[in-house]
Amino acid sequence: MDTKNTDIFTLMLAGGIIPKEHPGWPKAWKLVNRAIELSAALNTSTSVDEIRDRLSELIGHKIDGTTRVFIPFYTNFGKHIRIGNHVFINHACTFLDLGGITVEDYVQIGPKVNLITENHPLNPEDRKSLDLGRILIKRNAWLGAACTILPGVTVGENSVVAAGSVVTKDVPDNTVVAGIPAKVVRNL
């Protein structure tokens, strides 16, 4: 893919490195500033319905009435988040979504969970570029308190990520993972 001439938002969702010199960064920073403004309003909401409405505006998609999100909720972009039905997201979660985050139906997310789609190249000369990878949380998964899911990871259907774990690789369906880095500790 020609990274220089491809729309920056297409590149973000495709994953991989986006050079710091890409001409689309000013458009992206505009949406980051929008997310900062909308997040301030979101995090002063006074009801679950108001949270749902404000988060829907931030991500650009209606959040179903069966989904509950508790504040504070943090994101740096918002437009690349998709949240399914019957989802529960507890307090103080962070979704850094430039690379795309999809949360399927019936997912439970504990407090202080971090979904991070963004990284930087190791080479110091390229470090201000971004290395993005989509995160997918499949149906009926449970993310325990304060776990971190890193770029490019899929958490399988019905799986559980133990509290405090750092997930660096895909989690198979119907498993429990724990630790740093997270490893399968049990099948369900």
Catalytic residue among 61, 86, 91, 120: 120
- Kindly report the backbone phi and psi dihedral angles of residue 28, in degrees, each rounded to the nearest multiple of 5, phi listed first: -65, -45
Is 151 exposed, middle or buried (CB count within 10 Å of its CB: 0-12, 13-18, 19+)? buried
Establish whether 80 is a catalytic residue.
Answer: no
Contact call for residues 27 and 47 (beta carbons, < 8 A): no
For the annotated catalytic residues, the residue numbers are 120
